[in-house]
Amino acid sequence: MHTPVTRKPSAMNQLLRDWKEKFNQKVLKRYELPWMKSKELDIIVEVLTKLRPKVCFEWGSGFSTLYFPKIFGFIEKWNSIEHNEEWYKTVSEKINDPRVTLTYVKRDKLAPSENLAGNNDGSYAEYKNYIEFPLSLNTRFDFIFIDGRARKDCLKKAFDLITDEGVVIVHDANRDYYVNDMPPFSNVLRLTDYRKKRGGILLASKNKPLGEVLDITAHQKAWKNHDSIAKVLMMR
């Protein structure tokens, strides 16, 4: 277990790491890092390094469930939930950290009239128990990561669950409907790129100035450069 050294964001460095990770996954069948671009991962790592959260919650499990607690020893509890039973079993088999708890919360009965048409993300009616689950833990969280289903409604719920100085991060924030009608966070940063159905990241906090946990200017610059290069190379 170790705390990584945060690097100054560089678009070229991030692109090289993306290519390396794609080779590891496609050719070597080796999966170690969360499924996201390096420019997104660098932001989360820097936020966690500077925020030093103790109690964390995650909607949507994956390699992030394994990776972040592993590299950050100051995390005392990482709670994660998953709606897909098969994926839940896959991730559960890889957990060997007593600080990490993964819970399976299946989707509620499908309610077509409530479904958000065309986005395949799910509505509150479909995922009510999933969205409301963290209330059963009777605590507030220093850090919340939203990377699962019904993210729009999870973001609304996160406003009630995050501590005043905590930070919420939403992955795949390129999707505009995630951030329409947002709860009244005082501090919000959204970085988007040319992709429409994936990627992008949103940070939100009630009272914590985001500049205290992230070099915003440096990441915005790297993000812009990364986007320009990726569009030319037609990267997805």
Report residue 50 as tokens: 């500077």
**Residues 131 and 103: beta-carbon distance below 8 Å:** no
**Residues 223 and 190: beta-carbon distance below 8 Å:** no
Per the listing, tokens 């990490």 go with: 100
> Which are the contacts of 132, defined by CB distance < 8 A and separation ≥ 6?
157
Q: How confident is the model at residue 112 (pLDDT cuts 50, 70, 90)?
A: low
For the chain, domain boundaries: 11-232
State pLDDT tens for residues 180-209: 889 999 999 999 887 777 889 999 999 999
Which fold does the domain 11-232 belong to in CATH? Rossmann fold (3.40.50)
Q: Mean per-residue pLDDT for 149-158?
A: 95
Kindly report the three-state secondary structure assignment for every residue of the chain: CCCCCCCCCCHHHHHHHHHHHHHHHHCCCCCCCCCCCHHHHHHHHHHHHHHCCCEEEEECCCHHHHHHHHHCCCCCEEEEEECCHHHHHHHHCCCCCCCEEEEECCCCCCCHHHCCCCCCCCCCCCCHHHHHHHHHHCCCEEEEEECCCCHHHHHHHHHHHEEEEEEEEEECCCCHHHCCCCCCCCEEEEECCCCCCCCCEEEEECCCCHHHCCCHHHHHHHHHHHHHHHHHCCCC
- pLDDT number for residue 140: 97
Q: How confident is the model at residue 24 (pLDDT cuts 50, 70, 90)?
A: low
- pLDDT number for residue 115: 46
